[in-house]
Amino acid sequence: MTAQTAAAGTAAMPGVTTASTRSARRTFGVDVGGSGIKGGLVDLDTGELVGERTRIDTPQPATPHAVADVVATLVANFDWDGPVGITLPCVIKGGTARTAANVDPGWIGTDATALFGGVLAGRKITVVNDADAAGMAENCYGAGKDVDGVVVLLTFGTGIGSAVIQDGVLLPNTEFGHLEVDGKEAEHRAAASVKEEKDLSWKEWAPHVSLVLRRLEDLLWPDLFIVGGGVSRKADKWIPLLDNRTPVVAATLRNTAGIVGAALAVDTGVAP
């Protein structure tokens, strides 16, 4: 059964909530990363993908128009004509990208909502920062679920993304990856890409992560750190090596957090 026919088959009496009407709360998320653009249909009741996740290589250079074309191709692979939430590794204000630290500089000043709206005509589009999306996904379905207080999620990849959430409410566009820590930008010190480029062992890399977390815990006094990105798959190798007073846990949604968070953002309509 296709996504559309599945949704059509779940019609029920207005106001009556059944298991089948609940499972109809679906929407589409796309996560634009430095090397891959990933998308999938998300069940918003469970935070799980309905069917496959699709990935297409990020075009190089990742200019706004090149990325928009890939996003359109990716969405067209699915039987879905509803709203689409999209992440970008940029500060997003009112649908416009304001920064482009690890992506083509042509994004700065691009009205991303209008751009994606152009290639996905007639649909509701919401564009959010990638780490904010991952943070909200972890908050709703993952390691941040039911956690009271201030939660800081950090994604370790090419750069470091951040999301700050208090009692379920996101403070958008925090950009702690660019905080100066001991004379160096946090993401130039402790991103996963630094570990890879310098061929650092977990033991060599972990103190840099600790230093970044220490700076953040002194400034924000969070109740929990959630660490995400590809390196969270190996969390048991490095979380025990951290020396911080705040509890640190691994993200649980792994490679779907951005997709799920993007879908959540377009569903709730909450966008910075």
Q: Which residues bind ligand BGC (CB under 6 A)?
A: 89-91, 99, 101-102, 129-131, 155, 157, 159, 161, 175, 177, 187
Smallest gap from residue 153 Cβ to ligand BGC (A): 10
Q: Is 161 left (phi over 0), alpha (psi -120 to 50) or beta?
A: beta
Smallest gap from residue 23 Cβ to ligand BGC (A): 31
Smallest gap from residue 236 Cβ to ligand BGC (A): 23
Smallest gap from residue 103 Cβ to ligand BGC (A): 8
Alpha-helix residue ranges (DSSP H) falling in 94-201 = 112-119, 130-141, 186-190, 192-197
Given the complex with ligand BGC, which of 89 and 117 has the nearer CB atom? 89
Apex CA 29: angle with CA 27 and CA 97, to 5°?
A: 130
Task: Name, in order, each residue with C-beta under 8 angstroms of 149's C-beta and a sequence gap of 6 or more.
Answer: 166, 167, 222, 223, 224
Instruction: Tell me the torsion sign for CA atoms 110, 116, 119, 123.
Output: negative
262 closest CA partner among 124, 147, 122: 124
Given the complex with ligand BGC, which of 41 and 90 has the nearer CB atom? 90
Tokens of 93: 């204000």
Residue 247 preceded by cis peptide, ω within 30: no
Given the complex with ligand BGC, which of 41 and 265 has the nearer CB atom? 265
Smallest gap from residue 55 Cβ to ligand BGC (A): 16
Smallest gap from residue 177 Cβ to ligand BGC (A): 4
Convert 183-205 to b/e letters by CB count within 10 Å (16 or more is b).
Answer: eebbbbbbbbbbbeeeeeebeeb
Given the complex with ligand BGC, which of 131 and 136 has the nearer CB atom? 131
Query: What gap in Å lies between CA 213 and CA 242, rounded to an integer?
Result: 9
